[in-house]
Amino acid sequence: MKRDIILAGVGGQGILSIATIIGEAATKAELQLKQAEVHGMSQRGGDVQSNLRLSHTTIYSDLIPRGKADMIIATEPMEALRYLDWLGDGGVIVTNSRPFVNIPNYPDDIMEQLEALGHSGKNIKVIQNDIEALAREHMIPKSANIILLGMAAPYLNIIKADELREAVGKVFASKGNAVVEANLVAFDLGMGINLL
């Protein structure tokens, strides 16, 4: 089994933390792992993208071929659409529904475009929620990206949700118990969205 994942978003939204947690869980599960370097502007406000490939067998390239990704995890909805050509048949998009308007001509109909994908006959599943509003509502404003990871967890298939949850604790352990607890709450909140 393999999973090819495109991580996309805007600098400062926590894409690297998501990649680190998935990588930690994959390593513990003894999976093969390749990650392409993060492409884009890493400063706050610039677009950021990375390829993450997980497999039980050898992976020969760190880049996902166009049309072969199993999943797009996006902290920003326009960034999810930017990489749509890389998503394969039956793919899943897990995205924040709140736009990060960082350009003057940001499209008004981004969410309509994403929702249309779920009804397009292309066999694409779209999971979306306003992760920033959820994070503020639960008083964990710096953990919105981990809510998104929790939303994505049931669709990763190759890594179990409890393995990801354990990796959340390990990755944030050096920041203290309060940060670990906030991120575990965020992960569980994201998982709970899938049960609604």
b/e sequence 77-113, b meaning 16+ C-beta within 10 Å? bbbbbbbbebbbeebbbbbbbbbbeeeeeeeeebbeb
Taking only the tens place, the pLDDT of each residue in 83-126 is 999 999 899 999 999 887 777 777 788 778 887 876 565 688 99
Measure CA 55 to chain center. Answer: 18
Domain boundaries, the chain: 2-193
Mean pLDDT across the stretch 11-28?
91
Distance CA(162)–CA(62), nearest Å, equals 26
**pTM, to two decimals:** 0.91
> Which 3 state secondary structure label does DSSP give 124?
coil
Taking only the tens place, the pLDDT of each residue in 49-82 is 889 999 999 999 999 999 999 999 999 999 999 9
Mean pLDDT across the stretch 161-185?
97
Token pair 């709970």 is found at 192
pLDDT at 37: 66
Alpha-carbon distance values, 19 to 38, 39, 70, 185, 196 (Å): 10, 13, 15, 19, 26
Neighbour count for residue 45 (Cβ, 10 Å):
12
Give the model's confidence band at 196: pLDDT under 50 very low, under 70 low, under 90 confident, else very high: very low
- The two tokens of residue 175 are 């920041």
Domain 2-193 classified CATH 1.10.443.10? no
- The two tokens of residue 129 are 């929620």
Q: Considering only CA atoms, which of 189, 186, 184 is closest in space to residue 170?
A: 184
- Work out the mean pLDDT of the chain and round it to a whole number: 89
